Amino acid sequence: MFPASRFILPRVLPACLTLLCLFTAGPLCAEKPSPGLELFENKIRPVLIEHCYECHSAATTDIKGGLRVDSRDALRSGGESGAAVVPHRAKESLLLDALKHESFEMPPGKKLSDEVIADFVKWVELGAPDSRDKPPTLDEAASLSWKAIFEKRRHWWSLQPLQKVTPPVVTDNDWSERPVDHFLLQKLRQSGLEPAEAASPRTLIRRLSFVLTGLPPSPAEVERFVTEAKQNRQAAYERLVDRLLASPHFGERFARHWMDVVRYTDTYGYEWDNPAKGSWEYRDYLIRAFNQDVGFDQLVREQIAGDLLPEPRIDHQSGFHESLIGPMFYHMGEHRHGDSINFNGIHQEMINNKIDAFSKAFLASTVACARCHDHKLDAISQRDYYALAAVFMTPRWTSRVIDAPGKHDALIRQLQNLRGEIHQKLKQSWRAQAEQFRSELTAAIAESADSPRSQLWREALGLKNAKKQKKAAELKPDDIAWPAAQLLKVTTPAEIKTSWAQLQTAWRTASETHRRQNAERFQVLTDFSEPGFPEGWQMEGDGIRYGYVTDGTPLIALEGEQLIQQLLPRGYHTHALSSKLPGAIRPPSERDLPGKIVSLKLAGGEWSGFLRVPDNAFQTENVIFFDRSEPAWQTFADRPLVNGIQRIMFEIATSDLNPDFPPRTGKTRAGGKLLPPEDFGFDKRSWFSVTEIVSHDQTGTPADELERFASLYEQPAPKNSTAVCQHIGNWLTESVDRWSRDQASSADVELINWLLEKQLLNNNSAAGSRLKKLVSEYRQLEEKLPFAHTANSMDERGLTEVSYPLNIRGNVDDPGKLISPDFLDVFAGRHQVPQSPGSGRLELAEYLVSPQHPLTARVYVNRVWQWVFGEGLVRTPNDFGHLGEQPTHPELLDYLAQEFTKGGWSTKRLIRRLVLTEAFQQSGIVSDQARNIDADNRLWHHYPTRRLEAEAIRDALLAVSGRLDRRLYGRPIAAPRPKPDPSKRLFNGPLDGAGRRSIYLQMSIMDPPRFLVGFNLPDLKLPTGKRDVTNVPNQALILMNDPFVMSQAEEWAKRLLADSSDTVEQRLQQMFLAAYGRSPDAGEIERWMALIRDLGNTREQTVLLDNPEVWQHVAHAMFNTKEFIYYR
């Protein structure tokens, strides 16, 4: 029997017999099959399915050679060359020739075993009995073919459970007692090899320092370790390991390793290279996590489902909701702008980006290869790809506040209390002022009235201003001043009575009509008479959490002479306490909202706005920014779902919670204001208000019901102008009175804000007054409130699972059946992803870190081994599949993975275990025998000489020159650019990056730091498991000519001139220690001294010691040596 068939037969045969019953007459199933038919079902059909259906069945649209083998008639008819099978005539059956590779080659490139070919010959001689009366459908053929292939592939090494491994016992071993070394030593001896001798202390500290921190050791650190090692090498080395593991720079080093894996970027690439909101927050999150040795299982949970964790990780010391930062993992790499409504394929590319990164980072698998078809080599189907697409598409891809919950509560409560005190003081002041309205109005209508208050009233009411001769503004019937202006135009009682009746009737008619029409056409989802949003609507940020107010709450002015900006109507106002507070409103998807249209009464400014997002394409061009101080209706009508889009959602957000802020340059426009390209959107006093939400099926928005005039027209008709003034005065005074008694309505708020606008209520206070002091205290306190930290993350609240259409052959214009959220079929039955009511991300994360999952620990342990030793036990860290390499030491890999999980998934503990091995402490000396037997060092018979990564080269230059700023964290720093491009937000940064480590340089997809690119910075668009290491002329030219390198040579020279060296040789010794971690030998001293004398054109020690150009050249020369950019 064909070897593969031995293990696939028990699973495939039942399915085949079922199909046999379907495709043949009933008696055939009831009778005992003939020997020839048994041979076909047991040995022929499975081989045809596994090896031939892919190219010669209904499963493909490109039938090779015109031959199909998926039915009896097709096989006997043959293809372009004639009959493939002729019953009883083996010599005339072309299929047999092809199987023997005597004519065509089937399967191509790999001949089947002689045993299998013999089965086919016997079958033909028996008459080639075949139960397949009709060909299968495309789906049936594809399913049969894939099942056979899948059953074989699922037995691949990396998909098997971790094996329980006991470290080998190695006899005659005086090298090491450590288990890891035992595994290595056993294999070395099996090949007739021995490990290299131990490295010197100077070599070891430089190696360990770069491996653990990415920085060179200081001369003092080197000398300390060398001295301690003379007393007790092992104890000194262990202390050194622990010091470096505890260094804050350890987190920077290993965060940068992981950033390669997750395709870290600060921008989204394509034509505009928009900023990736919160990317640097994710970078700092990684640094903190590695420094704190957060278990990798926790990091897996956080990056896949940090927004869903029932017990999230809150770091109150740093003030971050760490778990919520984790899902920024999804939002790295290249993302197209726009959405699939206007240009199909955008959300599909975004989901592909996430699947590719997820599968490579955590599974070392190439799931993205199954986007268009079942994977060609691994046990990954096209359905698996789209099941993961459904998992990742279900949540909303948006920005979240990543500050620790309650971080600013105490300060916010103080602001609330101060606002309450200010409110009380204003009530007393304004109530007293309002009592004067009637008399002031009566005085103001006199022709001779010229007092400041009279002038203010006349201007407010649109009356002629005799003093200023100022033309009154054009009034409309819905203006607050309209009734007074109309009534005071006339003078006789009859005219006043007529005018009053007309005004009253017009108002009542309009008000009743508007009220009736609004009730008929609009369903009020909320008028915010009580706090809270409609069911399913989600809120984000302290601006919303603390933003609900009742009618008449004062909005404190944060600058200028005014006490308040206005009174707020009831509803949510993100700036109610401070415009620094973030806020967002996220309704359900359009199809889940009542009615065809939803309208919100909104105001906003300073780059708040809304965006409409089809299938999470959050870089949509459909982003609108508010520039309205007064609430107005904003309408969101359902749009058709086209191009495979399953869901359209919109959200209203302040700028810091808008995942698309700032969008591409030129798009960020609010009214007549344009955001400058150099503005990256940080620290905006962004705000919005929402005061009512309605749904409806017809176009239009609710009409103004003119409620503000109700209390005016409830009064009896005035008899003269004095009575008119009394009526107007009563109307406005009663409004202020209700407000002072906390009984204000929205109509009262409109009236009082009109009074404030017209300066008819006093909105400033005398210096030294209690009210002035309260406002000043409020402003000082508000200034202390920091802006929120936000990052693009996930938000699954209020959402249910989304099924994702399988794109036929990967064609986005040919969507097939919908696929529900699930994980890879090879792991079916071991997790709860398909049972989840939501995306299944939390269930997926829990499975990945469970003992039942074979990949996560293996993959990560292999990565850490690579970061420590230069190569992994599996040398293709992102691919544990058939295209990748198999482990050199599979037992060691499983042993380390098991120990890693037993040890709490501790990265530091794992690294400590590795760097304490004798294998790590070997020298780089290679024996001739080892070079001949194992030239690639796959057996680890020495520690390889390694070139520094791009970042470590740059950081070493800064460290040795003395320019390095060792501070941690912060916003990205623009790299130096000879040709800035403001339209892409590509600006020229400081030549030395302000002295910061390379991890803090802006990683722009469009224009990454060029110095780093020269030394193999990976492609930022792609998950990178292992960087290229090249040695090309351009790198030598960079070290020779790059302005940054030359500037660091100059910096080092300045520092050298200020040192205490008495002789040139003494200074040279210090330079060697700083650059190489060692002292020069006699020959090196002689050569370098000759160079120094030549550069200075003198032998005079004092002159040479004080010559800056000499030492700049010497420093530059040292930077250009191989030893500077390599470690052994």
Domain locations along the chain: 3-153, 277-291+300-403+789-853, 523-701, 1043-1127
Q: What angle do CA 315, 320, 321 make, to 5 degrees?
A: 85
| pLDDT interval class at 18 (50, 70, 90) | very low
Q: Report residue 535 as tokens.
A: 């069911």
Distance CA 608, CA 598 (A): 19
Q: Report residue 1109 as tokens.
A: 């150009």
Q: What is the mean pLDDT of residues 156-172?
A: 95
Distance CA 806, CA 814 (A): 9
Task: Give the DSSP H or E segment for 633.
Answer: strand 628-637
Which residue reads 């050679």 in tokens?
Answer: 65
| pLDDT interval class at 472 (50, 70, 90) | low
Distance CA 1125, CA 1120 (A): 8
What φ, ψ does residue 915 adopt, rounded to 5°? -75, -15
Q: What is the pLDDT of residue 410?
A: 97
SS3 124: helix
DSSP 8-state assignment for residue 40: I
Q: How far apart are the first and last CA of the chain?
A: 53
- Cβ–Cβ under 8 Å, residues 313 and 406: no
What's the Cα-to-Cα distance from 928 to each of 187, 442, 871, 898, 936, rounded to whole Å?
18, 112, 21, 36, 13
Q: What is the pLDDT of residue 57?
A: 81
3-state secondary structure 790-835: EEEEEECCCCCCCCEEEEHHHCCCCEEEEECCCCCHHHCCCCCHHH
Q: What is the pLDDT of residue 11?
A: 39
Which residue reads 């499963």 in tokens?
Answer: 59
Question: What sign results for the dihedral spanned by CA atoms 301, 304, 309, 311?
Answer: positive
Q: What is the mean pLDDT of the chain?
A: 93
Q: What is the mean pLDDT of residues 749-777?
A: 93
Neighbouring C-alpha atoms within 13 Å toward the C-beta of 97: 14
Q: What is the pLDDT of residue 31?
A: 42
Residue with the bigger pLDDT between 889 and 149: it is 889
Q: What is the mean pLDDT of residues 155-176?
A: 95
Beta bridge partners of 102: none
Q: Each residue of 293-327: b (16+ CB within 10 Å) or e?
A: bbbbbbbbbbbbbbbbbeebbbbeeeebbbbbbbb
Which residue reads 């002038």 in tokens?
Answer: 455
DSSP 8-state assignment for residue 203: H
Q: What is the pLDDT of residue 473?
A: 64
For the chain, percent of residues with pLDDT exceeding 70: 96
Query: Which among 204, 192, 8, 205 is positioned nearest to 116, based on CA atoms?
Result: 8
| pLDDT interval class at 7 (50, 70, 90) | very low
Estimate to the nearest angstrom the gap between the alpha carbon of 602 and the chain centroid.
Answer: 29
Whole-angstrom Cα Rg for the chain: 38
Q: What is the mean pLDDT of residues 810-835?
A: 96
Helix, strand, coil percent content, the chain, rounded in steps of 5: 45, 10, 45
Task: Give the DSSP H or E segment for 669.
Answer: strand 669-670
- The runs of H, that is alpha helices, within 394-492 are 409-434, 437-444, 452-460, 482-487
| pLDDT interval class at 1059 (50, 70, 90) | very high
SS3 364: coil
Distance CA 886, CA 881 (A): 8
Q: What residues contact 715, with CB distance under 8 A and at least 6 apart?
A: 727, 730, 731
Q: What is the mean pLDDT of residues 662-689?
A: 92
- Cβ–Cβ under 8 Å, residues 992 and 674: no
Q: What is the mean pLDDT of residues 20-38?
A: 51
Distance CA 790, CA 788 (A): 6
Distance CA 510, CA 34 (A): 92
Q: What is the pLDDT of residue 64?
A: 82
What φ, ψ does residue 565 adopt, rounded to 5°? -80, -40
Q: What angle do CA 1087, 1089, 1090 make, to 5 degrees?
A: 65
Flag whether pLDDT at 1029 surpasses 90. yes
| pLDDT interval class at 467 (50, 70, 90) | low
Q: What residues contact 175, with CB distance under 8 A and at least 6 apart?
A: 181, 185, 195, 918
SS3 584: strand
Choice among 246-250, 471-475, 697-701, 873-877 with the minimum mean pLDDT: 471-475
| pLDDT interval class at 134 (50, 70, 90) | confident
Flag whether pLDDT at 23 surpasses 70. no
Which residue reads 């009464």 in tokens?
Answer: 601
Amino acid at 258: W
Flag whether pLDDT at 351 surpasses 70. yes
Flag whether pLDDT at 534 surpasses 60. yes
Query: Which among 283, 282, 292, 290 is positioned nearest to 316, based on CA atoms?
Result: 292
What's the Cα-to-Cα distance from 982 to each of 664, 676, 688, 1009, rounded to whole Å?
11, 9, 29, 16
Please give the CATH topology (third level) of the domain spanning 523-701.
Answer: Jelly Rolls (2.60.120)
Which residue reads 């599909």 in tokens?
Answer: 348
pTM: 0.91
Flag whether pLDDT at 12 surpasses 70. no
Choice among 457-471, 558-572, 889-903 with the minimum mean pLDDT: 457-471
Task: Give the DSSP H or E segment for 28.
Answer: helix 26-30
Q: Report residue 917 as tokens.
A: 């091995």
Distance CA 870, CA 858 (A): 17
Estimate to the nearest angstrom the gap between the alpha carbon of 976 and the chain centroid.
Answer: 26
- Cβ–Cβ under 8 Å, residues 1125 and 948: yes
Q: What is the pLDDT of residue 790?
A: 98
Flag whether pLDDT at 87 surpasses 60. yes
The per-residue pLDDT for range 1079-1096, each reduced to its tens digit, is: 999 999 999 999 999 999
- Cβ–Cβ under 8 Å, residues 735 and 719: no
What is the torsion angle, in degrees rounded to the nearest 10, for the CA atoms of residue 590, residue 591, residue 595 and residue 596? 70
Upstream peptide bond of 662 is cis (omega within 30 degrees of 0): yes
Q: What is the pLDDT of residue 6?
A: 32
What's the Cα-to-Cα distance from 356 to each of 360, 370, 1023, rounded to whole Å?
6, 10, 8
SS3 634: strand
For the chain, percent of residues with pLDDT exceeding 90: 82
- The runs of H, that is alpha helices, within 637-790 are 710-713, 721-740, 746-757, 770-784
Distance CA 649, CA 616 (A): 8
Choice among 363-372, 590-599, 764-773 with the minimum mean pLDDT: 764-773
